[in-house]
Amino acid sequence: MTPQTPPQIVDSHCHLDFPDFDGEHAALIERARAAGVTRMVTICTRLRHEPRVRAIAEAHEGVFYAAGTHPMSAAEEPMATVEELVALAAHPKFVGIGESGLDYHYTPESAPVQQESLRIHIEAARRTGLPLIIHARDADEDMARILTEEHRAGAYSCVMHCFSSGAALARAALDLGFYLSMSGIAAFPKSAELRAIFAAAPLDRILLETDSPYLAPPPYRGKRNEPAYTAHTAAKGAEVFGLNLSDFAAATSANFDRLFAKAAA
């Protein structure tokens, strides 16, 4: 009897260039494929690191990348320009803008710089037609306000990466046609409130991710996360939506293809 092939799922947000994975990329990607994670998007958080993130994507089938300035780094990195981001988007494996966003938990003092950076990334998403990848922490009101203001000024697509904010921000994002991405946090035992937010969202707006090397889902919580573990978050997500794993995997993969159309092509 042949072993059953796991359902194909996508890790829409990981950080393969981080030192945690040095020298391990081939093995890491092989473990992911064995777990059914056939595609992944590795995210560059400082634009000066873009060449090394691009090199990882170029070297491995099924690996795509995005680049931007992380909000926690916005005050210490040169301010990105729209033109710079648009130029990077010409690469065939460059599929998203970011991550950008607002983080008032760790870096509240740089809020004005973060907001300026966010608006630049939004304009780049608008011009390229690529999805904006948003990091939001303890900034729900400003985040909802800026995303809504900017969307009124000109439409763009977006995913709220590693969504763990409140129900009001989830609703604001969904009302704009955006997507919510489910990370290992959604599988933590104490995340019942977060799971309820996801359960109230339309299935066709849900993505999966690891944010690896961070936020490993059970049974690996507290250990280094990696793309293969998207399968564990997918299992919890299927439970939240009352679906079998194959159907949930197929739905979230279709959502990824719709949002990250360049990766689907």
Domain residue spans in the chain? 9-264
Q: Is residue 135 marked as binding?
A: yes
Q: Is residue 204 marked as binding?
A: no
pLDDT of residue 4: 77
C-alpha angle 98-56-127 in degrees, rounded to nearest 5? 30
Q: Is residue 30 marked as binding?
A: no
Residue 18 has pLDDT above 70, yes or no: yes
pLDDT of residue 98: 97
pLDDT of residue 2: 47
Q: Which two tokens stand for residue 71?
A: 């909000």
pLDDT of residue 5: 87
Average pLDDT on 197-203 reads: 98
Average pLDDT on 47-57 reads: 98
pLDDT tens readout for residues 141-198: 999 999 999 999 999 999 999 999 999 999 999 999 999 999 999 999 999 999 999 9
Distance CA 236, CA 182 (A): 10
The DSSP symbol for 203 reads G
pLDDT tens readout for residues 93-135: 999 999 999 999 999 999 999 999 999 999 999 999 999 999 9
3-state secondary structure of 19: helix
Long-range contacts of 188-196, Cβ-Cβ distance < 8 Å, separation of 24 or more: 188/217, 188/218, 188/221, 189/218, 191/164, 194/163, 194/164, 195/236, 195/240
For the chain, give the mean pLDDT: 97
Residue 1 has pLDDT above 60, yes or no: no
3-state secondary structure of 153: helix
Q: Is residue 121 marked as binding?
A: no
pLDDT of residue 211: 98
Q: Is residue 15 marked as binding?
A: yes
Q: Which CATH architecture has domain 9-264?
A: Alpha-Beta Barrel (3.20)
